[in-house]
Amino acid sequence: MSTTMTADVTQEQTTAGHRVAQRVIFPPSGDLDVLAVYIDRKKADAESSAHPDDVLGRHSVRVRPGRRMSFGSYFNAFPASYWRRWTVVETVRLVVTTSGPCTVIVYRSNAKGAPQRVESLRVDGERSRTVVDLSLQTFGDGGWYWFDVIAGTEPVVLDGAEWLVPDAGRPHGRTSLAVTTFNRADYCLETIRAVAGDAGLRTVLDELIVVDQGTDKVADQDGFDELAAELGPQLRVIEQPNLGGSGGFSRGMYEVVKAAKSDYVILLDDDINLETASIERLTAFADLCRTPTMVGGHMFDLYNRSVLHTFGEVVEPWIWGPRNAGVGTYFRHDFSRTGLRDSKVLHQCVDVDYNGWWMTLIPTDVIRRIGLAIPVFIKWDDSEYGLRARAAGVPTVSLPGAAVWHVSWGDKDDLVGWQSYFHERNRLISALMHSPLPKGGDLLRDSTMLDMKHLVSMQYYTVNGRLQAQRDVLAGPDRLHEILPTRLAEIRSDAQEYDDGRVAKDVDAFPHVMRRKPRKPGKSTPPNRIELLPKAGLSVLRQLFPVDPTAADHPQARIAHKDASWWRIAQQDSAIVSTADGTGASWYKRDQRRARAMLKASAAQHAKLYRHWDELARAYREALPRITSFEAWERTFGISEDG
C-alpha cells in the first residue's frame, strides 16, 4: 500500500492508467428515508449521523465541527471482495478531495464483518486531495473498504471521492438500457427523466429502449416530448402487444443485439426508482470481469426505502424455489436500523444463480450465444436465464452498491389469483429444463401440497390456474409461443366463475358475519412439525363433509389477509378474506363438489408428470434453443419476414 497526500496532485495524475469503479454519491433530494444507505450510522456512535441539510450536492457533503461521518454505507463503501472474486483487478485507489482540516481514516473488513483500521491520515489546508492505494489480495471470501471523515474545530466539506481501479488494457464498454412497461407510464417517464438528467450515465449509454406493451402510452404523457428532444437518438420507444415481461425484455435484448452498437444491455423494470450511478458501476465492473458475466443490481423497497429485498438469490434444487444466497442472509434488511458496518452477514461475498430483472446487465455476446428469454409471459424468466447462462459458463453476480427501488412484494400475494398459473407452470418448465435431480427432486410433492393447501383454503380460482398450468406443461414446449399473447386473458376471464376470484372494493358488499354455533377457540400460531401433518390431513378430509347450509348466505368469519393462513381458513365453510393490498375482499365459500373434482385432477396430473418426467425433460431441453431463438421471437413479435 502506498499513500500520497498533497494539494498539488492533479486529477489527471491520480487517474492516470485508472478508471472510475464508483464515485461517492448522495441522494439528490436529501431524502432522510434513504440517507442511511448513503451515509452509515453505527449503533454505538451517535456522532456519525448526518442531517439532510449537510448534503451539498450529488457528490458533496458537509461534516460539522467535532463530528465523524462514515461512508461505510451500502452505496459508498467499496465491495472489495466482489472485485477480487470476479475481476482482473488486484488494487483499488481511493481519492478523497476535502476542503478544510480533517482526519481521513480508511477501514476494511473481512468476511466475518470484523472492521480493521488501515490508515489514519491528517489533512491540512483549504483544499486537499488524499490518495491511497489499497490491495485486494486478502478479500477472497468477503470484505469491504470504506473511509470516515472527522472534522476538527471547523466544519469540513467532502468535495468528492472516487474508487479507481487499473484499466488493465480493457476497452470502456458501451451499454443500452431496455425497459419493459405495461400501463405504468408515470413510473417509466420518471426513469427516462432520471437517465436524461445524469450526464455521467449518458457517456456510456447508446440507447434507452422502452418497450411499451400497454394502452396508457408512455409517448402520450405530459413531458415526454421534451425528454425525447433532450435525449435525441439515445431514446427509442417500441410499441407492441402485451407479451409480458419475457416478451418485453426479449424485444429489448433483440433490438440491442440487432443494432450492433452496445457491448451490454441492462434490463430495467418499469415500476422502479433508479439510482442512476448504478448503470456506470455495472458497466465498469462488467468491463473488467475475467470472463463474460451477467451483473445485476439489488432491489430496495420503493415504499420503505432503506429496506433491501435480498443480498442475492439461488434456486434451491430440491423443491425448486428461490432462497437467499450465502450463510445467514435474510430478506428485508433495514439499513436505517442496522448499518452496513454493523451487518456482519453482508460482508461475505455471495454467489448467486440469477439476478432479478428489475436491473440486470447482460453482455450482448452472451445473448448471441444462448438466445433470448423463454416465452413464459412472467415469472421464472430471469432465474431460468441465469441457470441457462451458468450452464454455458457465464456466471451471474449481484453487485452491492448498484440498486433500484422497486415496488415491494410485501403488498402482493402473487401465489394467489391469476398469477398462480404462471408461478406453477414456469416453475415446472424451468425445472424440466435445468433440474439436476431425478424427477425434479421434491418438486412434484411440493406442488401437490400447494394444490391441497389452496383447496383447503377455498381458493378454487387459484387451483384452477394451477391445474391449467400443469395441463400446459404436459402439452409440451412447442405451444409456448402460440399461447403467450392469449393465456393471461383466458385465465383472468375464469375469475368470474369463482367466488374467491371476485373482488369487491366496498366493505359493505357482503352480508354480515353469522354462524349457527361458535367454534372452539383454535391456536393462533402455525402448527408445529408434530401437529402439521395431522392438521393438514384433517383439513383435506373436511372437504368430504357437507357444508353448513347457512354458510352460503352469510360468511362465518372475516379474516384479514395477514391472518389468512390455510389452517385458519380451513376451519370455515365461508369467510370474507381481504386482499394483500388492502383494497378489497373476496367471499370464500367451501364447495364440496368442486374441491373433490380438483383434488382428483391434481392427483392425476401430478402422477402423469411423474411418469412422463424424463421424456418431458428431454423435450423441453431439446426445444430450449429453438423457442429462445431470434427467429422464434421474430414471429411472435410479428416482424418475421416469413410471417
Q: Which residues are part of the catalytic machinery?
A: 382
- Is residue 259 within 8 Å of 206, Cβ to Cβ? yes
DSSP state of 409: G
Give the separation between CA 180 and CA 249, rounded to whole angstroms: 6
Cβ contacts of 564 within 8 Å, gap of 6 or more: 457, 577, 578
44 φ/ψ angles, rounded to the nearest 5 degrees: -90, 5
Return the SS3 of 180: strand
**Is 296 within 8 Å of 336 (Cβ atoms)?**
no
The CA-CA-CA angle for residues 416, 419, 420, to 5°, reads 55
Q: Which amino acid is at 579?
A: T
Residue 324, number of CB atoms within 10 A of its CB: 18
Instruction: Write the single-letter amino acid at 642.
Output: D
Query: What whole-number distance in Å separates Cα of residue 163 and Cα of residue 95?
Result: 7
Can you read off the three cell numbers belonging to residue 484?
403467450
Q: Which residue has the cell 441539510?
A: 53
Output the nine-digit C-alpha cell for 258: 440487432
Q: Residue 351: how many CB atoms within 10 A of its CB?
A: 15
The upper half-sphere exposure of residue 286, i.e. CA atoms within 13 Å in the direction of its Cβ, equals 34
Report the alpha-carbon distance of residue 347 to residue 285 in Å, rounded. Answer: 18
Measure Cα distances from 364 to 59, 74, 263, 377, 384 in Å: 32, 29, 6, 22, 17
Could you write out the three-class secondary structure of 529-598? Answer: HHHHHHHHHHHHHHCCCCCCHHHHCCCCCEECHHHCCHHHHCCCCEEEEECCCCCCEEEEECCHHHHHHH
**Euclidean distance between CA atoms 331 and 301, whole angstroms:** 11
Residues 64, 66: Cα–Cα separation, whole Å: 6
DSSP 181: E
Report phi then psi at 282, rounded to 5.
-60, -45
Q: Cell for 443?
A: 418438486
**Cα–Cα dist 424/466, whole Å:** 6
In the three-class reduction of DSSP (H, G, I as helix; E, B as strand; rest coil), residue 343 is classed as coil
Containing 230, the helix (H) or strand (E) segment is helix 224-231
Strands 235-239 and 205-212: parallel
Q: Report how far apart, in Å, the C-alpha atoms of 162 and of each of 33, 172, 260 are.
A: 24, 17, 32
How many Å is the Cα radius of gyration of the chain? 27
